[in-house]
């Protein structure tokens, strides 16, 4: 049985990581952020990200937490079957070694010995279906990593692989776009390939989350995992709506928001979602936060606004080209907000995403129900 507090800790860290994964301005910083997040949630001081170097036939420590100077960026591990990270890379499967000091299957490297490492857990990192490297946690005390630990670390590794794939595809796209011999058709092919890769990786993440949700014993943990799954699906729907006609990263908000609400709709006959959405397109990096905000607000209304009598949720999206502003409003005629619920992560996320858009979220008093409006800059 999974400790509920442990499960919640992983979910909070996962929610944070999925939000900040795109903010790192370079691949090295992304890898270091990942190592730091994993160390924080597992309470294990030593973590590292190893990149497979095919030309050298080894695994280089690209990022890490808790290691002495001279390890990160310099130390390499073998990829043979007696290397724990090497076996994880070769098999594409997690590798758990409870006591590497006395396990004849695996080599006890000088680096691990110097840092007093006893137990290790390795999970592979895939980029575009290929073995990119390994994410590893190293404990100084004998630790029996369970299935929950393995699946949770695998989710981090898959999100990391997704972000690395996106950066790689963006670099390829930029190179193609600036190459005078390249054509628009070639660029579109690359972008569609990026879309396909992103969708596949998002599906992998959802699958891992679904498995973890089934294995969680706490109802609160299962609900939190379901919320993370909904957010990942919201990102996936945005990529489904990508248009390559005028802009490589343009999303039709009319189609996107309608698809989102159709995905959220619990099919309760007593609850209706009514939509009034302007036909407008905005860049993908702005469409995703808008979709996540809509997901949070509509989901909150469905969960908390109505009794058995049901009611109506109104979603409007307006574009004011004169002042260059977009406005998303979600309102319901339910029981009203009432006191702020303990945690209230969804509402904090809405405010954070509004700030990311350079906008603001307001909740005016209304005679009945709740109303939240998010306004942010828009340009044609």
Residues 20-39: tens digit of each pLDDT? 666 656 788 888 888 988 88
pLDDT, position 188: 58
Residue 76: the pLDDT is 93
Please compute the mean of the pLDDT values over residues 166-185 and round it to a whole number.
64
Q: Sheet holding 119-127: strands in order across?
A: 76-78, 58-65, 46-53, 130-139, 119-127, 95-97
The boundaries of the domain holding residue 181 are: 4-205
191 and 49, same domain (yes or no): yes
DSSP codes joined into one string, 69-121: TTSTTT-EEE-STTSHHHHHHHHTS-EEES-TTS-TTS---HHHHHTT--EEE
Give the Cβ contact number of residue 370 at 10 Å: 23
Better-predicted residue by pLDDT, 203 or 184: 203
261 inside domain = yes
Q: What is the pLDDT of residue 177?
A: 60
**One domain for residues 29 and 160:** yes
Average per-residue pLDDT for the chain: 82
Average pLDDT over residues 102-118: 94
**What is the arithmetic mean of pLDDT over 174-203?**
60
Whether residue 341 has pLDDT greater than 70: no
pLDDT score of 110: 94
As a whole number of angstroms, the distance between CA 318 and CA 330 comes to 12
Over range 209-216, report the average pLDDT: 77
Q: Are residues 153 and 13 in the same domain?
A: yes
Cα torsion 43, 94, 15, 221 to 10°: value is -80
Q: Is the pLDDT of residue 331 over 50?
A: yes
Q: Kindly report which listed range (176-190, 331-345, 352-366) carries the lowest average pLDDT score.
A: 176-190
Instruction: Give the integer Cα–Cα distance in Å for 310 and 119.
Output: 53
Q: Is the pLDDT of residue 174 over 70?
A: no
Counted domains in the chain:
2
Boundary of a domain, candidates 147, 172, 205? 205
**Pair 200, 253 in one domain:** no
Measuring CA to CA, which residue among 247, 245, 355, 338 is closest to residue 292?
Answer: 355
In a domain, 352, yes or no: yes
- Quickly state the pLDDT bin for 247 (edges 50, 70, 90): very low
Asked if residue 182 belongs to a domain, the reply is: yes
What does the pLDDT average to over 212-226? 79
Assign residue 322 the CATH number of its domain: 3.30.565.10
Establish if 146 belongs to a structural domain. yes
Same-domain status, 257 and 167: no
pLDDT, residue 183, reads 53
| Rounded Cα distance, 370 and 363, in Å | 8
Residues 35 and 136 grouped into a single domain = yes
Q: Clarify whether residues 187 and 131 are in a common domain.
A: yes
Q: Supply φ then ψ for residue 135, to 5 degrees.
A: -105, 125
Q: Considering the domain boundaries, does residue 371 fall inside one?
A: yes
Q: Is residue 361 part of a domain?
A: yes
Task: Report the distance separating Cα 127 and Cα 190, nearest Å.
Answer: 16
pLDDT band at 252 (very low <50, low <70, confident <90, very high): confident
Are 65 and 193 found together in one domain? Answer: yes
* Residue 234 is assigned to a structural domain of this protein: no
Asked whether residue 344 falls in the same domain as residue 200, the answer is: no
Decide if pLDDT at 121 tops 90.
Answer: yes
Give the pairing of strands 250-252 and 242-243.
antiparallel
To which H or E segment does residue 49 belong?
strand 46-53
| Global pTM value | 0.51
**Residue 242 lies inside a defined structural domain of this protein:** no
- Residue 120, pLDDT > 50, answer yes
Find which of 68-72, 92-96, 344-348 is predicted with most confidence, using mean pLDDT: 68-72
CATH number at residue 58: 3.30.450.40
Q: Quick one: what percent of the chain has pLDDT higher than 70? A: 82
Q: Name the DSSP class of 68.
A: P
Question: Is the pLDDT assigned to residue 45 strictly greater than 50?
Answer: yes
Q: By C-alpha distance, which of 292, 272, 379 is closest to 334?
A: 272
Let me know: does 345 contact 319? Beta carbons within 8 Å: no
Residues contacting residue 42 through CB under 8 Å, at least 6 positions apart: 137, 149, 153
Q: Are residues 275 and 132 in the same domain?
A: no
Q: What pLDDT score was predicted for residue 189?
A: 61
């Amino acid at each position: 049985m999974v400790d509920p507090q442990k499960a919640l800790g992983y979910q909070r860290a996962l929610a944070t990581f999925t939000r900040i994964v795109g903010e790192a301005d370079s691949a090295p910083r992304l890898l270091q952020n990942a190592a730091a997040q994993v160390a924080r949630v597992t309470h294990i001081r030593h973590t590292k990200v190893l990149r497979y170097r095919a030309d050298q036939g080894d695994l280089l420590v690209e990022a890490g937490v808790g290691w002495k100077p001279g390890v990160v960026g310099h130390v390499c591990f073998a990829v043979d079957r007696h290397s724990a990270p090497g076996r994880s890379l070769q098999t594409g499967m997690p590798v758990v070694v409870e006591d590497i000091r006395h396990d004849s299957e695996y080599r006890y490297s000088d680096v691990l010995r110097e840092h007093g490492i006893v137990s290790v857990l390795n999970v592979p990192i895939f980029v575009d279906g290929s073995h990119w490297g390994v994410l590893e946690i190293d404990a100084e005390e004998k630790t029996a990593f369970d299935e929950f630990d393995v699946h949770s670390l695998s989710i981090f590794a898959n999100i990391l692989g997704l972000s690395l794939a996106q950066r790689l595809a963006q670099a390829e796209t930029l190179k193609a776009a600036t190459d005078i011999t390249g054509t628009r058709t070639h660029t579109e092919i690359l972008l569609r390939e990026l879309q396909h890769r992103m969708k596949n990786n998002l599906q992998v993440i959802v699958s891992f989350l679904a498995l973890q949700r089934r294995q969680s014993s706490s109802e609160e943990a299962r609900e939190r995992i379901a919320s993370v799954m909904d957010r990942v699906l919201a990102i996936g729907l945005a990529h489904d709506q990508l248009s390559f006609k005028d802009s490589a990263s343009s999303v039709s908000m009319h189609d996107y928001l309608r698809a989102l609400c159709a995905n959220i709709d619990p099919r309760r006959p007593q609850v209706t979602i009514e939509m009034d959405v302007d036909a407008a397109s905005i860049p993908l990096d702005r469409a995703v936060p808008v979709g996540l905000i809509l997901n949070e607000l509509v989901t909150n209304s469905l969960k908390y606004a109505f009794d058995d009598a049901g009611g109506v949720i109104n979603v409007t999206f307006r574009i004011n080209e004169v002042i260059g502003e977009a406005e998303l409003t979600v309102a319901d005629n339910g029981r009203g907000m009432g006191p702020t619920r303990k945690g209230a992560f969804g509402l904090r996320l809405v405010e954070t995403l509004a700030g990311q858009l350079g906008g603001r979220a307001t909740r005016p008093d209304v005679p009945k129900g709740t109303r939240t409006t998010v306004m942010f800059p828009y340009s044609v």
